[in-house]
Structure 1
Amino acid sequence: MKMIRRRQSPDDARAAAVEAAHGLLIEEGVAAVTLKAVASRIGRTHANLLHHFGSAAGLHRALAEEIARRVSASITAAIASRRRGEATPRDVVDAMFDAFARDRVGELVGWIALTRQREALLPVTETVAAILADFRAAGDPRPMDRVVLGLVLLAIGDSLVGAEVAAATGDDPMVVREIAVAQIGALLS
């Protein structure tokens, strides 16, 4: 019996490819996120993915957009909880660091930067700007630009090599989160 494959809408095809790319990133690392590997995972051809993304860089950018959306949602929810008095600064730091680690943000950002696909970083930088704009829209006069800058860079570094650097210093990997909370306190005092 011949299997009949249903035609996907372009949006559904792109979403399936990005989800497959995200799975490869989580399971095997960014080097595994190739057009060939993603096509194989979703039962499509390399040419089909080229049609939808234009290039491997286009796929990487779409993956960065999806990860930025997920991370932003997590951080925004933590900030909203903090504003309602339901969370501590440490809760916000934990939400950010956990989201960056879960979605391997450091690895993806590092790969994009090292392969000089700087335009693919746009979703990440737009997310950072959106988080900062949220603080400004709430009328927060504190230097949140410095807080966000420091937290994002610490979270990226931690998601990339935090465990290894902590081991080299003999510290618990969670110490960097305490440093982040102290940084927030210092900048906002």
Structure 2
Amino acid sequence: MSELTLPKLNKFTISNRLEIINKLKKIINPENVLSENEEMKPYETDALSAYKQMPLAVILPENTQEVSAVLKYCNKENIKVIPRGAGTGLSGGALPLQDAILLGLGKFNKILEIDFDNKCVVAQPGVTNLSITHSVQDKGFYYAPDPSSQLACSIGGNVAENSGGVHSLKYGTTTNNILGLEIVLMDGTICNIGGKTLDQ
């Protein structure tokens, strides 16, 4: 296996780990800030399991405002952030770094709306790919991008990696099946792009 080149470690961030963790516990529910090795063990790798390392901490926000507050703080303090969906990717997109916060989106696991008229589902990023198909299949619909990990992979991870599957040959990959997104920029700004219908 070839050597994986990771970004240079920020030793200042690592040396201030406890201070960073304490600050994050003031920003979100302290129970959702994981900092002990045994708590973070499940997050030390994604499906590319040949490469493992513990993150600085794991943050499990419960709403968009918490994500915004965490990113705003990390941006101000120059702390790296690695977003993570279900951790099923093989590209290394969710590999943790020792000097980075791992931002887990597993608590964002609700389908907010099913709009059959516009053939649209509004879902949080932690919803699994297959759950979307299950939520609409009684009306004869399905979600076309179907990676082999669709049972476990999250829609947020699919968006980040532009996932596809066998149906992608006909219907395109994830980016061809998205009408809109709510995103949080690194400075904490919350943006809405697109909407439930195609642009006219």
Could you say which structure has the higher helix fraction? 1
Larger radius of gyration: 1
TM-score normalised per structure 2? 0.26
Higher strand share: 2
Scaled by the length of structure 1, the TM-score of the pair is: 0.27
With a CA cutoff of 8 Å and minimum separation of 6, indicate the structure with the bigger relative contact order: 1
